[in-house]
Structure 1
């Protein structure tokens, strides 16, 4: 399966993109909410038990926040930010499929896609993920992480409109490079966990430089991975297959809770032989940390 996925991405990608001048790196350990940074070394056990190394960033806005889209303008109101492995939290990596959230914002805002539920016709090419081998809407492609769909959307958007979007609403280093189909899969686009938290919180609150309607539509597209006891975890996965290096797994999103949402970002890779499969391990690590903090209900035994 992994070999087939690797071959699929390489075949779709072509030559590696030529580097562009990089923007300045993110400020080290800048608080997502501006205050109350905390280092949580104890969260490392959730990674170590699965043979992984990585980072987890948790942002807890102030109590009594309004629902998304009804807060005053501006990103990241003061709150509490906690991190496991803060140096890695400030390090940029290729976003892989977590970029589908930003990609959908651009596609809908520019009118390249008019309706998130309108279908794009499957090209008939059999790919290694069965769920990809049929017609797909933006919603299907977000849930199934369908590479070919979002590559087709990217071709329609074009590099110029991505660069214009990055100028209005920064995301990571904001680099597109030469390949509009692969810049989020192979680079040069790169983003840190700290920056993913800032982006996700802006989306959650409707505070990004996109229309309120576009942001509401993309919030609704974010997959619900946990829904229990009145609490929902909305998150987007990402998996980067890196030649000569361990695969990189992402999970970014937020937990919708009656007493206030929380936002998080995780990235991880194998620390050595015997590491857990990143595909299920990403959610397992996030659940262990969030449940341990009382922010997600533990499943009934």
Structure 2
């Protein structure tokens, strides 16, 4: 997996990913930056990346500290896109944002013992990827230049911090670097060799998946049958920009079963819904439409204009 990535993303992909990651939940985002965050993220992708994912003069005119913040968010969005598009990972959730997250010491058998001290915040990876029976670890870096050896080493240390996720060994650990350039975005993924990490994490996977749908769960949705097609609900974020979700998926994730066992069953039900709609969702892919393997769909119907 190590090496340069095929950057076949569209700007619609990046907008959908920006709306999915960036904060552990939309409620937390609202507390920090206000209810206009959704429109701001759409404006960020549109203003700072052209349709070929080259940086615009608006991005290149930013102060360096501003570029760092924008690169951070766009790096997370590219990581989300890569995980979904090229690794078939349905969900990327923040390690620090999962509900009732517990740090444990795994035994050799991968059973877990509670009470381990969590690694420092700066040493933890950014995301856990959930793909049916697989679990993945991601550290995301958005930059303007290629990473130095020390930057790569630090990221590899972060993704190597976890030896188990809910008692299972991670399928992959990925340090992702995305460089934003005038000539076009570049990406690099490094999958480090296995190390003897001593810390595991345990969390409720239904609740973690709900975090990924916080855009739809934290605010009312409306039918988007006329705007993006039957079976979708969601909202218009900006004029002619719609973010929707398969209403069957939303119905399944909206209710939180009381018991842990029932929540595990609900997770399998959601994956079954997604598997049945996989070809339908993928058929929607175009420059202006970004379907996700999680049942979401971003449609950007704004007219092309200028270099944007």
Do the two structures share a fold, i.e. TM-score over 0.5?
A: no
| Larger relative strand fraction | 2
In the superposition, the TM-score normalised over structure 2's length comes to 0.24
In the superposition, the TM-score normalised over structure 1's length comes to 0.25
Q: Tell which has more relative contact order, 1 or 2 (C-alpha 8 A, sep 6+).
A: 1
